[in-house]
Amino acid sequence: MTNNEDKNIGIIVKNMDYKDDSKIIFIITNEGLISLIARGANKLKSKNNAYTKILTKIEYNSKGKFITTAKIIHNYNNIKVNIDIYTKILIILEMSYVLAPHITDYELFFRFLSDILDLINNYKYSDLINLYVLTFRIKLLYLLGVAPILSKCVSCGRKENLIGFSLDNGGMLCLNCASDLNKINHSNYIQLFRILYLTKLDKLNDEYLIELNKSYNEEDIENIDKLINSYYESYLGFKSKSKEILNKI
């Protein structure tokens, strides 16, 4: 064990004002979602002001409910300087905050969140941000314990003749098992759903997504986005607030 592993590191996904100019910050760490009070963080001149913003990775020490010292280790500046991209990734922070209690493997979750934010922060083509966010939402289903069954028929287990995705069944259905074809999504975009779910994060980058993007159009991306919204609503009762706001803009 190195000293590094003993340090508290986390990513701030939410904050709120608290009495006497303080703030409560909510941090995703190796141990899950943690909330701490940063004294005086709402005073502009306070040293506690700088590190309490959302989308900041910090290293910190705490005592009881209070954060005692902290330093910023990643500011995700490429995301923060672009308001469009920043707005798009708010859903990642919102989902991390709201859905963290459903997650059991926090170590994996923290690494996953950290990796995907790094990938987005290193973007070269802003057109691809939607695909990164989509990948986060699809892959998160696994960590939430409600992963869709995409490589075989959810009903009989056959791997042949998979004709489409059934929201009611939470996975692919084969020709034999699909009774109501109207209730099945069997378009091109289901393939994209499968690819994004199965692609390892270390393979995922702008070059890979550009190639992938060539086979799909905007409508496919919208359809898959809708399907994932429905999936989250059906299986977790989750409906994003930041997404609703985003859609209204």
User: φ, ψ for residue 247 (rounded to 5)?
Assistant: -65, -25
- Map the footprint of Zn ion across residues 173-202, applying CB under 5 A: 174, 177
Helix axes 129-143, 206-213, angle to 10 degrees: 100
- Minimum Å gap between C-beta 191 and Zn ion is 18
Does 154 help bind Zn ion (rule: CB under 5 A)? no
In the bound complex, what is the minimum distance in angstroms from residue 194's beta carbon to Zn ion? 16
The answer to whether 100 and 26 are in contact (CB under 8 A) is no
Pick between residue 53 and residue 152 the one whose CB is nearest to Zn ion: 152
Element housing 17 (H / E):
strand 8-18
Q: Tell me the closest approach of the beta carbon of residue 55 to Zn ion, in angstroms.
A: 43
Identify the CA nearest to 124 among candidates 201, 203, 206, 202: 206
Q: Are 52 and 15 in contact (CB under 8 A)?
A: yes
Of 99, 129, 150, 153, the residue at the interface with Zn ion (CB under 5 A) is 153
> Judged by CB, which is closer to Zn ion: 128, or 177?
177
Does residue number 8 form part of the binding site for Zn ion (CB under 5 A)? no
> Which range in 40-48, 95-103, 151-159, 199-207 contacts Zn ion by CB under 5 A?
151-159
Q: Which is nearer to Zn ion, 135 or 166 (CB)?
A: 166
Burial-class residue 114 by CB neighbours within 10 Å (0-12, 13-18, 19+): middle
Which residue number, 38 or 153, has a Cβ lying nearer to Zn ion? 153
Q: Does 172 bind Zn ion (CB under 5 A)?
A: no
With binding defined as CB under 5 A, does residue 162 bind Zn ion?
A: no
Binding of Zn ion at residue 169 (CB under 5 A)? no
d(CA 131, CA 191): 14
Outline where DSSP puts E strands in 53-123: 56-63, 66-74
CB of 168 to Zn ion, least distance (A): 14
Q: How many residues bind Zn ion (CB under 5 A)?
A: 6
Our CB check for Zn ion shows the closer of 49 and 169 to be 169
Tell whether residue 155 is a contact of Zn ion (CB under 5 A). yes
* Residue 10 vs 148, nearer CB to Zn ion: 148
Q: Which amino acid makes up residue 88?
A: K
C-beta of residue 158 within 8 angstroms of C-beta of residue 176: yes
Burial class (CB in 10 A: 0-12, 13-18, 19+), 13: buried
- Asked if 108 touches Zn ion (CB under 5 A), the answer is no
Nearest to 116 by CA among 105, 125, 104, 108: 108
Residue 169 CB, nearest approach to Zn ion (Å) = 10
Q: How far is the CB of 162 from Zn ion (least distance, A)?
A: 8
Answer yes or no whether residue 156 interacts with Zn ion by CB under 5 A. yes
* Contact set with Zn ion (CB under 5 A): 153, 155-156, 158, 174, 177
